[in-house]
Amino acid sequence: MYAVEIDNLEKTYAKGVLRQRVRAVCGISLQIEKGEAFGFVGPNGAGKSSTIRILMGLARPTAGTVLLFGQDAMCPDARRGVGYVPENPCLYDYLTPFEILEMSMRLHRTRDGAISAHALKWLERFDLAKVARSPVRSFSKGMTQRVALAQAMCIGPRLLILDEPLSGLDPIGRREVVDLLAEYKGQGGTLFFTSHVLHDVERLADRFGLIHEGRLRSVRSPSELVGAEDIVIVRSQGSNPLSGWHAEASGQWVVEVPRTDLWQKLDQLRTNGHVLIEVKPTLSLESAFMHVVGRG
């Protein structure tokens, strides 16, 4: 039994005054194993959020089937124990984080000892203990995002469905959440998430699905994306100009080269007295997506 099984999924919306039919999802089929972390990658309007809304029973498919652990996603029992964070969480702003977590655990019938103590534990994990009794309406976007993530995690989810989970978080918050999700995955949890920033989540995903114009164009692993691109970025610091390199601020230089030319560029740095700053593959949403979909 798969954690998520999507078969020939389609979703059509009526848009505009003339109610023209727009196909948001076009025949997607996908299986996600229990314990797998799957990244759903694509530009705005590609169909990511529409797919997730159907997974969470918030929209009905026009055609096709969606199963969570073998049950129809429209069935409430299928979604019990499924943690969900939308791209823009809309929480009851008159409630406190403590009340929101307690409510979530009761709705999911979480059995983890004292509910209050369990809620406080997760608020501490997300650095929210000091504001546990404050209404959410006074929170920043980043704090609201952390409340939503704590709410999803506190139920002990068998599956986490996250739509842009790192949106609104500062660099420290992003790192902490990625570490927490890696811990969840290491304990056997299943992840289905979207992101515009592939670099932040490359360590989490076992596979990526690249979606464009409602169609799933490719499913592959991060290592396959790196290998397919076969280009690396080299950045250095030095006062001497380098032929073929681009100057950046504060005496930094950068160049993109095929992997086969990497050692030649490193020798060039050493000869000109430069200090190597970084060497990294061009693993980014743009490069991976353009390689698979093509500029056409």
What pLDDT sits at residue 9?
Answer: 96
Whether 296 has a pLDDT exceeding 50, the answer reads no
The 3-state DSSP class for residue 136 equals helix
**What span, in angstroms and rounded, lies between the C-alpha atoms of 163 and 159?**
13
* Cα-trace Rg, the chain: 22
**What span, in angstroms and rounded, lies between the C-alpha atoms of 23 and 293?**
18
Q: Identify which has the larger pLDDT, 43 or 61.
A: 61
Q: Among the residues of the chain, which ranges form H helices?
A: 48-55, 97-107, 115-125, 141-153, 171-186, 198-201, 222-229, 262-271, 285-293
Residue type, 244: G
Domains of the chain: 227-293 (3.30.1490)
Whether 118 has a pLDDT exceeding 60, the answer reads yes
**What span, in angstroms and rounded, lies between the C-alpha atoms of 67 and 170?**
35
Pairing state of beta strands 246-247 and 252-258? antiparallel
Q: What is the pLDDT of residues 68-113, one digit of tens each?
A: 999 999 999 999 999 999 988 989 999 999 999 999 999 888 776 6
Among 238, 258, 261, 259, CA closest to 248: 238
Q: Provide the Cα torsion 232, 235, 241, 246; round to 10°.
A: 60
Among 193, 187, 189, 196, CA closest to 168: 196
Q: Provide the Cα torsion 128, 130, 135, 137; round to 10°.
A: -60
Inter-residue long-range contacts of 86-92, CB under 8 Å, 24+ positions, other chains counted: 86/49, 86/52, 86/148, 86/163, 87/49, 87/163, 87/164, 87/167, 87/194, 88/167, 89/144, 89/145, 89/147, 89/148, 91/136, 91/144, 91/147, 91/148, 91/151, 92/136
pTM of the complete model: 0.80
**What span, in angstroms and rounded, lies between the C-alpha atoms of 43 and 103?**
34
The answer to whether 257 touches 232, Cβ cutoff 8 Å, is yes
Whether 137 has a pLDDT exceeding 90, the answer reads yes
Among 135, 185, 144, CA closest to 168: 144
The residue to which tokens 């030095």 are assigned: 238
What pLDDT sits at residue 7?
Answer: 97
Q: What is the pLDDT of residues 197-242, one digit of tens each?
A: 767 667 788 998 989 889 998 888 766 655 555 778 899 999 888 8
What pLDDT sits at residue 294?
Answer: 61
**What span, in angstroms and rounded, lies between the C-alpha atoms of 31 and 260?**
36
What pLDDT sits at residue 48?
Answer: 92
